[in-house]
Structure 1
Amino acid sequence: MATTASGSSGYVCCRFFLQVITGRWFMMFASFLIMACAGATYLFGVYSKDIKSTLGSDQSTLNLMSTFKDLGANVGVVSGLLAEETPTWFVLLVGALMNFTGYFMIWLAVTKTIATPKVWQMCAYICIGANSQNFANTGSLVTCVKNFPQSRGMMLGLMKGFVGLSGAIFTQIYYAIYGNDSKSLILLIGWFPAAISLVFVYNIRAMKISAHPNETKVLHEYLGIATVLALLIMALTIAQKKVPFSHTAYLFSGVAVCFIMFSPFFIAVREEFYTWRNREQLTAPIRLVDEAPTLPETEMKSEIEYESMETKEASASGCSSIFKPPKRGEDFSILQALFSIDMFLVFLGTFCGLGCSLTAADNLGQIGESLGYPHQAVSTVVSLLSIWN
């Protein structure tokens, strides 16, 4: 009897574990991790000095490479078109491959493991590596917005916030693993985001939308976690500037940052347990009736929205609808967006608004060098910029 009971308990645990890792909340947790690793372009100011010294180039050549970095980071049409025709796991897989290839080649060049590449080759490497960020954005952010359509505004803000924090997160992790070695930072940028995408490549997918009463509460908890993470990294950054940290201290700092990053996992387990418990209650013996079962109004609305969204996506995939965009607020296909006046206005505003800040961020390393700042001071400025970004 004891063996039967333990076997039954193990089966229930396995079923619950499977529900957790295939559920919406774990998918959201995985998406936040991917987005927290998708902002490596903010760290160019930290390792740009190594590229400059390796190539023996001047400031204009470095500016050319930063231009290709920004071009790769902001041209997301390719990833969008690929997401229209392929599953999400393939988009994330391509992004992971591009990320590792681009930054690994830069690391090989900076460490002089390979022959010094030409300028156009370095521009190609950094453009490929930076463009992988768009594949992570398209794969995880767009999927999360589809899976949480009633909270898309909060979801967008939170996920882009984690992207902004990624530069500061990377700084703490690379201090913990490699110490104050900016060349190793390039290697970390190459393998760490790719590994995260590969681990969760099958968890990020569009799911059937179902009503959940705690959705807004959970997003507020995520906002609290993001705020605590930002404040912790800011405190660590300032402390590391004021007080010399040993490698052990950096290791503890990195562990603390990673713990807070992974804390949403416990929220996912809690919400799936809530769903599991309610499902068990609903499957209790009930009186049979002849009438057809009716869904709650909120769930019926979600089912209708899900079906209508699938219908719109199917109808928008045809070439005949490119010049017939839907109403504002509804989903556009990639080609419909490219040929719409709304997208042109968004592009124009982004082009004018982001150019100055990107130029400043890309040249932080050279600004600090010209002012005589030590390398760690430049890392501190980059981390603070990433946090408040």
Structure 2
Amino acid sequence: MASQTNMPIKKDSIKIINVAVAVIHYNNQYLLGFRDASQHQGNRYEFVGGKIEHNETAKQALIREVAEETGMDINSNIAVKLGRLHHDYGDKQVCLQVYRIEITELQYEQYRNQSHGLEGQALTWVDKSKLLAGDYNLPAANKTILDWLRLPAQLAITYPLAYFSSPQPMAAWLTYHKEHLAEEAWVYVRIKAAGLEGSADTTAQLLHLRADVQAIVPYHPDSNRANCQLLKTKNATMNRQIVARHLTHRQLLQWRSSTEKGKVSNGTISSSLPLIVSCHNADSIDAANQLAGARLQQQLSPVIAIFLSPVLFTQTHPDVTPLGWEAWSELAELADMPVIGLGGLSPARKEQAMLHGGIAVAGIRQFFK
């Protein structure tokens, strides 16, 4: 007979508490409540929200909780899913289902001077820059939410090096992207050069020339080492410009395969920076959710978004059948992190992406000046 200590835990006996979290904002002003010292995680600020009842959807709970706590009616406002955060406390599990809700100017003017909620809790509107800078003490679980809020509404992806037929393709690549990136753009720097060192050096040159942009760079097992060597000769500003690493669909599935076979630990993706992952179907989204959960549990930098593609037909991959908005929306709902639309899109499609469960759009041709 198996000993008590070796018996598996019955997952169905662990209570899962689903909580709806409303990240309410008007432009760059965000609404926070303040937890009383007597409460769990007391003396901290928090986003509005509460427990999802058994007969409610997450969005229904958002509407009810916001009305009960503040009196604000958000029934007609668009709730954009940011993601889900899972926390295991042993005897219970908590799932925070987080939505971003932009209110109207009329709503903001009506509630901007409301210092206390209907339950007596203090309320305050804070500037996004100060919120992201950590000026407000939030529960630890909210750090990932702040990482999600840093994401822009659109991202540019650089042309591959092969696009430039110049005798000096690297120089042509650098000149084009220096001149055509929008101001303060987020850009996924995907050069596809032969060597990591050459790509890193060209990336460094671009960031030096465009100190206003934020860069996502490809993940490589040696990328941390390569960048450390590179940044020894570069300034600290450039270091801050690299905000995330990109994990390909193939790398993601290789990670999951290795962990399932027990070959490596969940921390093998050894990036000290947040990750953005490419997904194409439900299976890869499931893998991304597993990776995000593993990194959260080990207190590593989070998976802050996925590129979900292709939404529409794209010249980059003309032989791939696009998902279409309906199927894309169904897949986006499965993700535990923000979803970025990719494939045949333009910046003008960002509102359409939001209506279908995304938070941003990305692309190449139509995302440069």
Tell me the TM-score range normalised by the shorter chain.
under 0.3
Computing the radius of gyration from Cα coordinates, the structure with the larger value is 1
Give the structure-2-normalised TM-score: 0.24
Please identify which structure carries the higher strand content. 2
- Greater RCO (Cα-Cα under 8 Å, separation 6 or more): 1
Please identify which structure carries the higher helix content. 1
Give the structure-1-normalised TM-score: 0.24
